[in-house]
């Protein structure tokens, strides 16, 4: 029964497809993908750190009783 299954596998077609794979291009794609992933993670980490910093600042100011400074107040013009 095992020989029947192996007889149905198209080895010639698989071998032809495998010959079309270029090792250099595949390795270059993996290298570029690695740098892309590092950049993506750095961007997400930067966003997370910025959010955590802002949250810590707001929490600290809230605990100290400092009024909210995010509202924009118009400046008085001197005439």
Q: What is the pLDDT of residues 4-32, one digit of tens each?
A: 777 788 888 888 888 888 888 889 999 99
Residue 71, burial from CB neighbour count under 10 angstroms (0-12, 13-18, 19+): exposed
Give the pLDDT confidence score for residue 56 in this predicted structure.
96
41: pLDDT confidence band, cut at 50, 70 and 90?
very high
Rg (CA), the chain: 30
57: pLDDT confidence band, cut at 50, 70 and 90?
very high
Domain ranges of the chain: 2-64
pTM, to two decimals: 0.52
DSSP 20: T
Whether 67 shows a pLDDT value over 90: the answer reads: no
């Amino acid at each position: 029964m095992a020989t029947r299954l192996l007889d149905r596998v198209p080895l010639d077609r698989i071998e032809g497809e495998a010959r079309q794979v270029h090792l250099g291009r595949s390795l270059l794609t993996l290298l570029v993908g690695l740098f892309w992933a590092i950049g993506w993670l750095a961007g997400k980490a930067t966003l997370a750190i910025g959010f955590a910093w802002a949250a810590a600042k707001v929490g600290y100011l809230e605990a100290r009783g400092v009024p909210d400074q995010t509202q924009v107040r118009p400046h008085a013009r001197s005439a």
